[in-house]
Amino acid sequence: MRKQVLAIVVGGLLSATSVKMTAQENQPVQVVDAGRGLFMLYCASCHGSTGRGNGPSAGEFRHRPADLTQFARNNGGVFNDALIHRIIDGRTVKAHGNLEMPVWGDAFKWRQGLDEDAIKQRIEALVRYVGSIQERAGH
């Protein structure tokens, strides 16, 4: 029941036609907020609540989780949405570089029974949130 309610809330937030935009990157506030909620639920235990790779489980891994705030900085200031979407989804990226990162496309499909549109919406919300936490040059 909880999962269905969350899917409805996230789906509703992501399909809103008139949405407020954040100042940074013109991101719809509701999508970024939905992504933040998903991030805290699924990603923060490894990547940390700020996305810097310092979550409470980070020390348990052979490879430290990525600092998600550095994607744009490491790519000449450009945040590559499509690449980040593929990495999070994981079904077309070879295990995210190692076997420690879950394949979220499959996880959302098999663990929660979501269809492809719902999976894309969740991953897109996560991508928007990760885009919103990018460290800017000079910080």
SS (H, E, C) 66-102: CCHHHCCHHHCCCCCHHHHHHHHHCCCCCHHHCCCCC
Half-sphere exposure of residue 44, counting CA atoms within 13 Å on the CB side? 11
- Note the Cα 94 to chain centre separation in Å: 18
88 residue type, one letter: I
Whole-prediction pTM: 0.77
DSSP code, position 23: S
pLDDT tens figures, 6-36: 444 444 444 433 333 344 455 678 999 999 9
pLDDT tens figures, 52-105: 999 999 999 988 999 999 999 999 999 999 999 999 999 887 655 556 788 899
- CATH number for region 2-59+67-132: 1.10.760
